[in-house]
Amino acid sequence: MRKFFQEIKADLKFKTAGPGQKLSEPSRAPREKPKAEVAPKPRQAPTDEAQRAAAAALARLELKPKGKAASSSQEAIKNQVRKELMAEAAASEKGLSMEEKEQEEEGAAAPSVSGVYFICPLTGAVVRKDQKEKQLREAIQAYFSVDPVAASIMEIHTFNKDREKVRLCVETMAKYLDNIYLHPEEEKYRKIKLQNKVFQERISCLEGTHKFFQAVGFETKTLPVPGQESTEEFYVLKEEMLSRLEELKDSKEQLLSSEPVRAQLHRQLAVFQPSPAAARFELPHDFFNLTAEELRREQRLRTEAVEKATMLRTRAMREKDEQREMRKYNYTLLRVRFPDGYILQGTFYARESVSVLYNFVREALKDDWLPFELLGPGGLKLSDENLAFNECGLVPSALLSLAWDAAVMADVAAAAAEEQRSPLRPELLARAQTLS
């Protein structure tokens, strides 16, 4: 394209050249007196419109590098954002984490942990995050053969997510049972019309409620409606339950006092031998709290961040962005490096408090009475144990250091020199791994 415009320029110069002038060397060719008898017809110059177009194009070519340099940084960031999020979405659709996708395509390093795992409190089974609800359902279903009342209460509290609806539901159910317990002679209290508006709106629509009524001794009967020719379905308490009213009262108390069954986060405790790679983390996708909708929102937020980087923001605006960033992570992978170089690793909720980490370390010590302190990145002491990890900037991963209390440091050093052993429990050291 530039060559084309240069040719046009040459044409413009040619317009002023003499008829006998050599085109290859116009500036050095000698002038000759034109011969009138054989004067060639002058070459027609480009039109004004063509000249203007050529000049404009040349101007754009001259300015293009400057404009590109000015905007290349933002464009590169935006393009990288789009590329990353498209890759995340594609990996999600294929059921792969971003780390697995990268390993598949580029042979990236293996994740520091294979995922987030949970322990079922009923069976002790360890399952991955996406399997925990299925495991809980299967465990509670199996528990019906052991204690149907307790199992139905677990279902009510665990699988109905709206806590306010659950509260209203169990209070209404407790009222039904209270009326029977306090007025066993009143037949009307032993019957519950299933089409009753309150029963339908507060109880029938929640999971596990019908199993509870059946477990505590109610059965379904079709009865005539007083004053009408039609019949309706009722829950009616079995006659034999009148002699077991204390059981009914216990079931009511259990219903009111129970909590949801929650799978426990598996710490995935690991010990590593001293390694210079302690600060390098490769996290699996499980550590991020991003659904498909959140991925799209994240793309918008990242694009906005490029623009925000070039403008002044108030402290409130910065804090809002930081809070939003903290909510992106559900979990954090923390490593604690001991003075002898050994590394203790565990998985935590991002909103757990620092005190949980202190307890985690203490339980791993051979002598749990030894006083110590934990230092975050930059050597900052984690003195406020009530702060959450995401409030301390310890998400989604962090390497911390353990320092012994100054009063006992000399004794610990002397003992370590004498015994040549780590302060960690021997069974943990026996399975110490090499950190790649």
The full set of domain ranges for the chain reads: 118-264, 325-434
Q: What is the pLDDT of residue 300?
A: 63
pTM value is 0.65
Q: Which of 291, 197, 211 is nearest to 251 (CA)?
A: 211
CA 202 – CA 165 distance, rounded (Å) = 7
Cβ contacts of 125 within 8 Å, gap of 6 or more: 119, 135, 139
CB neighbours of residue 287 within 10 Å: 26
Q: What is the pLDDT of residue 51?
A: 58
Q: Give the full edge-to-edge strand order of the sheet including 218-224.
A: 191-193, 231-237, 218-224
Amino acid at 31: R
CA 43 – CA 349 distance, rounded (Å) = 82
The CATH number given to 325-434 is 3.10.20.90
CATH topology of domain 118-264: Methane Monooxygenase Hydroxylase; Chain G, domain 1 (1.20.58)
Q: What is the pLDDT of residue 230?
A: 86
CB neighbours of residue 390 within 10 Å: 22
CA 59 – CA 67 distance, rounded (Å) = 12
- Burial per residue of 175-211, b for 16 or more beta-carbon CB atoms within 10 angstroms, e otherwise: ebbeebeeebeeeebbebeeeeeebeebbeebebbbb
DSSP state of 403: E
CA 370 – CA 362 distance, rounded (Å) = 8
Q: What is the pLDDT of residue 15?
A: 46
Q: What is the pLDDT of residue 84?
A: 52
Q: What is the pLDDT of residue 227?
A: 77
From the number of C-beta atoms within 10 Å of its C-beta (0-12, 13-18, 19+), residue 24 rates as: exposed
Cβ(139)–Cβ(120) below 8 Å: yes
Q: What is the pLDDT of residue 36?
A: 47
Token code pair at residue 341:
């170089």
Residuewise pLDDT in 10s, the chain (436 residues): 555 445 545 554 444 444 444 444 444 444 554 444 445 555 555 566 555 555 555 554 444 444 444 445 555 545 554 555 555 555 544 444 444 444 444 444 567 899 999 999 999 999 999 999 999 999 999 999 999 999 999 999 999 999 999 999 999 999 999 999 999 999 999 999 999 999 999 999 999 999 999 999 999 999 988 777 889 999 999 999 999 999 999 999 999 999 999 999 999 999 999 999 999 998 888 887 655 555 565 556 556 655 555 555 566 655 555 555 555 788 999 999 999 999 999 999 999 999 999 999 999 999 888 899 999 998 889 999 999 998 888 999 999 999 987 776 666 566 555 455 689 999 999 999 998 7
